[in-house]
Each structure stands twice: as C-alpha cells, then as structure tokens.
Chains A and B, each alone.
Chain A
Amino acid sequence: MAETDNFSEQESLKLINEMIGKAKKSYVTKGIASIVWGSLIIFCGIVNWVEIRFDKQFGDVWLLTFFALIPQIYFSIKEKRSKNFISHNETTINYIWIAFTVSMFITSFYFSRFRLGDVSPLIMMLFAVPTFIIGGMTKFQPMILGGIFCFVASITSMFTLNEIDVLLMAACGLVAWLIPGLILWNKYKRGEVAHV
C-alpha cells in the first residue's frame, strides 16, 4: 500500500479492526496455550495422585510442565515470521507467562533445595497470577473465575493432605486453563467460520 493512499475515517477504522482481528488469531489468544498448559497440569496432577494413592513411582512427572514451553516457543517464532506486527496486548500476555515461569521455577527450586515441605499452596497461588491478570485485561470472565478458583484451591490445600493437593492442582488446570482455553478456541473457530 502506497503511503499516499487516501483513507476515509471508515477505512482507517476498518484497517485497525483488521489488525485487531489478526492479533486475535495468535497462539495465545486462540486458546491453544491454555489448552496445552491445562491438559498438562491435569495429566501431571492425576499421575501424581496415582503415585501417592497406589504407592508407585514414575519419576518427577511435574518436570513435564517444561515441555509446555516447547509449543509456546515454536508457535511464537512461527507467528513472528508470518506476521509483520505484534500487538501490545500479545506482548504483555507473553511477558505475563514469562513472569509466571520464572516465579514457578524459583519457588520450586528453593523448596526442593531445602526440602521445605508442602509447596502446593504456593504453586496454586502462582497458577492464579497469569489466569487472573490475563482474564482481567482481556475481560474474559471464565479466566477471572479460574484465577479466583486457584486462590481458593491454594487456601484449601493448606488444610488438606498431599493426595488431595495434587487433585486440586488438576482441578486448577481444568477450571483455570482447559475450560477457558476451549471456550476461546470455540470462539475463534466460530469467528473464523463467520469470516469465511
């Protein structure tokens, strides 16, 4: 598009809308990140519950969560190549996830290094951070509720056995990420169909 093209106000708004529409179709905003992350947390929580309940050892299953970063990095790079812009919203969401990952890593590392007992209330508290902030900034109610659920689960886990704590973590994965992620994905699909 030549720089001297004349734009009416209507056309300008259409261009801005198009840009917003493109931004919505990202890995994060399509809900795939939430679905991947939520599924993984549910899987780890249930496997961990089986370990405790039936006295089995499958290794540290929670290390799998690091694999969730692989599709996130892959899709981020892919999108960066295919798009010529990234919205401020997307950048903020990406950094919220970075802040969450760093916080989780330091907390888990410190607690395992000093064998400080039950880390699950803190982990569930940290689960609430990206969910509540992203839900609030995108005005997406299911994620706000998911964040509140994580806070409540965090408090509850202070009074429950380890066996229940891991199930609560799985529930957080379901309520805070998988369900909102599926809602987002459905919205995206419907939007795409309407667009076609």
Chain B
Amino acid sequence: MEQAMNTQNSLALIEEMINKAKNTFSESGTLFILWGFVILICSITQFIGQYFFDHKNAAAIWMLTWVASILQIFYLRKLNKNKAVRTYTDDILKYMWITFIICFILLVFILIFQKSFISIVPAILVVYGIPTFLSGIILKFKSLIIGGVCCWLLAALCVFTGWDFQQLYIAAAGIIAWIIPGFNLRKKFMIENATRIIQ
C-alpha cells in the first residue's frame, strides 16, 4: 500500500498522531485534585493544631495521606484496565511519578532519621516542584509549570520564615501546584471529551 502524500498531508498525519496522544494524556486531573486537597487539609489542620492549640500530635493528620494513597492505587488500577494504548508520554510520566514517590518516602525517612525537622518543609517543597514542573513541560500545560516554579519559590522563602508558618507554604503549594492545575486539567479533559463525542 503506497499512497502518494505531499508534505502537507505528511505533516497533517503527524499532527493527528500527536493530537491522539494528547487526548490520552489530557487526563481528568483527578489525582492532582485529590492530592491537592489532602495536602491542603493536612497542612492547615497541623498549623491550627500546633499554633492555636499547641497540640503535640497535630502532625498525625498526615496519616490521611495513607488513605489517599490507597484511593490512588484503586483509581490507577481502574484507569489502566480501561486504557487501550499506552503512549510515550504516559511512560515518561510513569517514571517521573515513580521517582517522585521514592524521593518523597526517602526524604521524610532521611530527615526524621537525622532529626532535621526544620528542613522537612523546604525539602518537601523542592521535591513537590520537580514532578509538577516536569508534568507541565511534558503535557505542555502552563499552570503546572507555574505551580512547579511556585513550589521552588516557596521552598526558598522558607529561609526567611519560622517553622510554624512554613506549614502554610505547603498549603499554598497544594492550591497553586495541584488544585488549580487539577481543575484546569479537568476542564480541558471535559472540553476534549465533548469535542470527541461531537466528532
């Protein structure tokens, strides 16, 4: 089968393939929204508990992240079952998120082991910034790029901020880096889905 194609047709074919790939990665933003809210709730609760009530176990609220992790596993299993094709972008994102999860666990473990509690918040913000920024680059999604840069700026600002108030930076990162981009992703996903149905 050898059909004659001019340059325009070739480019159109490539563009079509790229658009197909784009539709598969334009995910619903569910995980960004889920994690954004979990982080927001945990950090605000810890801040209120420690700052206003001097509660010693306020950090226990972070156990909520375990619940979120379980939800994420179920969600991803369901998503992978329904997915017919894995794109190249999916693969890059997979490796990036594996790296992030390992770094996050390792980071908390190292800093608790070293009893370097003062550096937990800036270190977490640095690590948050990496997948957020790179997801933005890979998906060509500006609000994620801005979110990633904001995480790094907040990490740098920790130098000038007391430990209690650093908790609020994590809450801010949850909103800027994950909740807002998550809703933007969802909006894009809905629009693309509607367009596909019309087509």
Residues of A within 8 A of B (CB): 1-10, 12, 15-16, 91-92, 95-96, 99-100, 102-103, 106-107, 109-111, 113-114, 116-118, 121-122, 125-126, 128-129, 132-133, 135-137, 147, 151, 154-155, 158
Contact = CB atoms under 8 A, between A and B. Distances in A.
Interface SS majority for chain B: helix
A6 B5 contact: yes
Contacts of B148: 99
B191 interface: no
10 contacts: A4-B6, A6-B5, A8-B2, A95-B134, A102-B129, A111-B119, A114-B118, A125-B106, A129-B130, A137-B91
B103 A8 contact: no
A26 B122 CA distance: 35
A132 to B, nearest CB: 5
B178 to A, nearest CB: 17
Interface in B178-198: none
Report, nearest first, the 8 A-B pairs whose CB atoms are least far apart. Answer: A136-B95, A137-B92, A95-B137, A12-B10, A7-B5, A121-B110, A6-B4, A103-B126
Contact of A92 (B92, B113, B114): B92
B142 to A, nearest CB: 13
Q: Which of B8, B10, B94, B113 has the most CB of A within 10 A?
A: B10
Interface of B: 1-10, 13-14, 91-92, 94-96, 98-99, 102-103, 106-107, 110, 113-114, 116, 118-119, 122-123, 126-127, 129-130, 133-134, 137-138, 148, 152, 155-156, 158-159
A8 B5 contact: yes
A1 B11 CA distance: 14
Given A7-B9, A8-B3, A116-B119, 4 more contacts: A7-B5, A92-B92, A111-B119, A114-B118
B14 A16 contact: yes
A147 B6 contact: no
Q: Which of A4, A114, A137 has the most CB of B within 10 A?
A: A137
A158 B109 CA distance: 10
Nearest to B148: A99
Contacts of A102: 129, 152
